[in-house]
Amino acid sequence: MSKSTFTRRTAAGLLAAACGGLLGVGPALAQGYPDKEVRLVVPFSAGGSTDQLARILAEKLSDKLGKRVLVDNVPGAGGNIGMGMVARAAPDGYTLILVSSSFVVNPSLYAKTPYDPKADFAPISYIASAPSFLIANPKLGVKTFPEFLAKAKAEPGMFYASPGIGTAQHLAGELLKKQAQIDIEHAPFNGAGPGVTAVLSNEAPIGFASVPSAIQHVQSGALVALGVTTLEPSASAPDVPPLDKAGLPGYEVDHLQGLLAPAGTPPEVIAKLSTAVQEIMADPQMKERLVKLGFVPVGSTPAAFATTIDTQVAKWKGVISSAGITAK
Amino acid sequence: MIRLRSNTLCGLLFLAIALGFGWAAAGYDLGTARRMGPGYFPLLAAAILGLFGLVILGRDLLAAARGAASTSPDEPVPWRRGLLIIGAIVFFAATAAGLGLVPALAVSVLLASRAGANSWRQSLVQAVVLTLMCTVIFQMGLGLKLPLIGPWLAL
Amino acid sequence: MDLFQALLTGAATAFAPINILYCFIGVLLGTIVGVLPGVGPTATVALLLPATFSLDPASGIIMLAGIYYGAQYGGSTTAILLNLPGESSSAVTAIDGYRMAQQGRAGTALATAALGSFFAGTVATMILAVAAPALSQVALQFRSVEYFSLILLGLVTSVLLAHGSILKALAMIALGVLLSLVGQDVATGTPRFTFDLFQLYNGIDFVAVSVGVYGISEILRNLENTGARSTMVHALSRLWLTRKEFREIAAPVVRGTALGSFFGILPGGGHVLSSFASYSLEKAIAREPSRFGRGAIEGVAGPESANNAAAQTSFIPLLTLGLPAHPVMALMIGAFIMQGIVPGPQVISSEPQLFWGLIVSMWIGNLLLVILNLPLIGIWVKLLSIRYDALFPAIVAFSCIGAYSVMSSGFGVLLLALFGVLGYVLVRFGCELAPFILGFVLGPLLEEHFRRAMMFSRGDPTVFLQSPISVGFILLSLLALGAMMMPGFRRRRAEIFTSSDD
Q: What ipTM score was computed for the predicted complex, to two decimals?
A: 0.93
Helix (H, G, I), strand (E, B) or coil at A253: coil
User: For A269-273, B45-49, B65-69, which range has the lowest pLDDT when averaged over its residues?
Assistant: B65-69
Residue C221 falls within a domain, yes or no?
yes
d(CA A259, CA C142): 37
CB A5 within 8 Å of CB A306: yes
Q: Does A77 touch chain C (CB under 8 A)?
A: yes
Q: Give residue A1's pLDDT.
A: 35
Residue C502 falls within a domain, yes or no?
no
Q: Does C195 touch chain A (CB under 8 A)?
A: no
Chain C residue with minimum CA distance to B105: C397
Q: Which amino acid is at C309?
A: A
Chain C residue with minimum CA distance to A109: C188
Q: Chains with 3 or more CB pairs closer than 8 angstroms to B?
A: A, C
**Residue C302 half-sphere exposure toward CB, CA atoms < 13 A:** 27
CB C153 within 8 Å of CB C269: no
Please list every residue in chain B whose beta carbon sits closer than 8 Å to the beta carbon of residue A328: 31, 35, 37
Q: Give residue A21's pLDDT.
A: 37
% of chain C surpassing 70 pLDDT: 89
Domain total of chain C: 1
Range of the domain at C260: 2-496
C-alpha torsion sign, points C136, C68, C143, A192? negative
Residue ranges in chain C whose pLDDT is less than 50: 1, 227-233, 495-502
φ, ψ for residue A129 (rounded to 5)? Answer: -115, 155
d(CA C97, CA C206): 20
Decide if C334 and A55 are in contact by the 8 Å CB cutoff. yes
Q: Does C193 touch chain B (CB under 8 A)?
A: yes
Chain A residue with minimum CA distance to C458: A157
φ, ψ for residue B34 (rounded to 5)? Answer: -80, -45
Residue B21 C-alpha, separation from nearest chain A C-alpha, in angstroms: 21
pLDDT tens column, C62-109 = 888 888 888 888 888 888 888 888 777 788 898 899 989 888 888 899
Residue C132 falls within a domain, yes or no?
yes
Residue C501 falls within a domain, yes or no?
no
- The full set of domains in chain A, from first to last, is 2-129+255-323 (3.40.190.150), 132-246 (3.40.190.10)
Decide if C456 and A203 are in contact by the 8 Å CB cutoff. yes
Q: Which of C333, C449, C463, C466 to substitute to test the interface with A, most A CBs within 10 Å?
A: C333
Please list every residue in chain C whose beta carbon sits closer than 8 Å to the beta carbon of residue A199: none
Residue C123 falls within a domain, yes or no?
yes
Edge-first strand order for the sheet with A206-210 is: A184-188, A158-162, A206-210, A132-136, A224-228
The interaxial angle of helices B6-26 and C410-428, nearest 10 deg, is 140
pLDDT tens column, A268-288 = 888 888 888 888 888 888 888
User: Among C142, C323, C337, whose Cβ lies nearest the Cβ of A55?
Assistant: C337
CB C213 within 8 Å of CB C86: no
Decide if B28 and C190 are in contact by the 8 Å CB cutoff. yes
Nearest to C312 by CA among C365, C375, C383: C365
Residue ranges in chain A whose pLDDT is less than 70: 1-31, 46-48, 76-77, 323-328
Residue B83 C-alpha, separation from nearest chain A C-alpha, in angstroms: 35
Please list every residue in chain A whose beta carbon sits closer than 8 Å to the beta carbon of residue C140: 197, 200-201
CB C149 within 8 Å of CB C341: no
**What residues of chain A, 309 to 328, have a C-beta less than 8 Å from chain B?**
328
Q: Chains with 3 or more CB pairs closer than 8 angstroms to C?
A: A, B
Decide if A59 and C452 are in contact by the 8 Å CB cutoff. no
Whether B77 shows a pLDDT value over 70: the answer reads yes
User: For B23-32, B90-99, C140-149, C191-200, which range has the lowest pLDDT when averaged over its residues?
Assistant: C191-200
